[in-house]
Amino acid sequence: MKKYIISLLTAVMALSLTACGSDKPEQVSPSESSAAESGQSDNSGPGTDSSSAGLANPWVDTTAEEASSLIPKLFIAPEGAEDVTWSRTEGDEPLIQMSFKLDGLDLTARAQSTGDTAEDISGLYYDWAVESDVTLAGWAGGQMPAKIYRYAGSGEYADLCTWYDFETGVSYSLGIVAEDLSGFDIQAVAEAIFDYEADNMTSDTAALEEHMPLDISSCTSFKQITDMLRSGNGYVKTTISDTEVLLVTEYVFDIDGGGHYAATDADIYYMGDDGLPKYAGYVSAGGTAYPLSIADGKLYVGANPYMKKMVLMAGGIVADEEASVEYGTDGSETYYLRSDTHATAADENGQVPDSTTLETFYEEYEAAETIFFTMVE
C-alpha cells in the first residue's frame, strides 16, 4: 500500500504541540458536518476571501460519477483508500464531499463552485496553531497555491488543507480530526487525490477532438490491440515509469532510409491491476524533426518552442517537467517551466529567468533513444 503518512518538519511539530495548549475548537470535525446539517452558514474560517459558502441542508448520498459531473476537476480517492463514500448538498451550487479512510485515519475532501472568490468550505473552525503556505503538485500543473493549518489540543488534533482554482472557480478542502497526527502529511494526501487521468484526458481538447483512440473495450491483451491496426500503422512496447506500455501510432516514417520507423505521435496503453489494457493518453510532438524518444523511463515529446518529459502516474501520461519559450512580437523571449507531478523553481507565473532549463532538456533529448516502431504491412 502506498503510504502518505510521512514526517512533518520538526519545527512545525514543535510549534503545533505548544502554541495552542488545551484550547477548544470552535466547531466539529468534517466527518460530522454538523454546521452544514444544521443549516449554519458561517464559513468564515481560515483561508477564505469572502463570506459564507452557504452550506445547504440536507446532505444526500451520491456517486463519484455524479459528483464529477457537478464539479470540474474533481478529486478522486487516493491509492489505498478504504470506506470511500460520496455525498452532496442540494441547490444550484452543491457542496461535494468525499469521505474515506487512509492508513486507519478518517479524512474528508470537499469541493464547491464558489465563483470569483475562494471560500473555506471545510466545516472545521479551530484556533489554528500553525498556518503555512505550500504549493501542491498535480493541481494547476503543479503550481497550485494552498494553505495548511494544524490544531493541537488535549487529546485532539486537526489538520486542514485549502486551495482554490481560479480558472474553474472551485474551492477545495481536505480535513482530518484525530487523537494523534504525529508524522501525518496532509499535503501528500491533497496531492494524491488529484485526478491525473481526467486531467490528461482534457488538457489538450483540440488535439483529442481531431484524434480518436482505438476502442479497446473488448481487448484483454496488447496483442488484441495491435491486431486492430491497419497497414501503415505502427506499434512498439517500451517502459515508462517502470511500467510496460504499448505505443500505437497511425503513421510512421523511415527516419534514416534503412527501415527504422519512428513516429511523432502515439496513443499509450498499459495493463491495469485487473489484467486488462487501459488507455493512458495521447502524445504529439512537433513534426519529424522531433521523433518520440525515451531516456531513464521518461518519454520525451518536443517541438521548437517546448520539450516535455512525460511519465505514467495514476493511470495517465503526464508531464513530469515541461520547459518552453514564448516569443513576443517585439522579439522578446519568456521562458517557462511547469510540472504535473511536483513543484518547480518557476515563479508564481510559471516563469524562469532564462533559457538554461529548456536548453538542458533539448540536450537530454538529443542523447535520448529514438523509439523505433514496427510498421504494420
pLDDT tens-digit profile of 239-270?
Answer: 999 999 999 999 999 998 899 999 999 999 99
pLDDT for 212: 81
DSSP 204: T
* Cβ contacts of 201 within 8 Å, gap of 6 or more: 208, 281, 316
C-alpha 374, offset from chain centre: 33
pLDDT for 100: 97
Spell out the domain ranges in the chain: 10-194, 201-375
The residues of the chain scoring below 70 in pLDDT are 1-57, 141, 197-210, 329
Torsional class of 241: left (φ above 0), alpha (ψ -120 to 50), beta (otherwise): left
pLDDT for 199: 63
CA distance 172 to 244: 34
pLDDT for 200: 52
pLDDT for 263: 96
CA distance 120 to 171: 7
* Cβ contacts of 100 within 8 Å, gap of 6 or more: 77, 78, 81, 82, 83, 84, 85, 106, 107, 109
pLDDT for 72: 84
* Cβ contacts of 196 within 8 Å, gap of 6 or more: 138, 313, 314, 315, 316, 318, 340
What is the three-class DSSP state of 210? helix
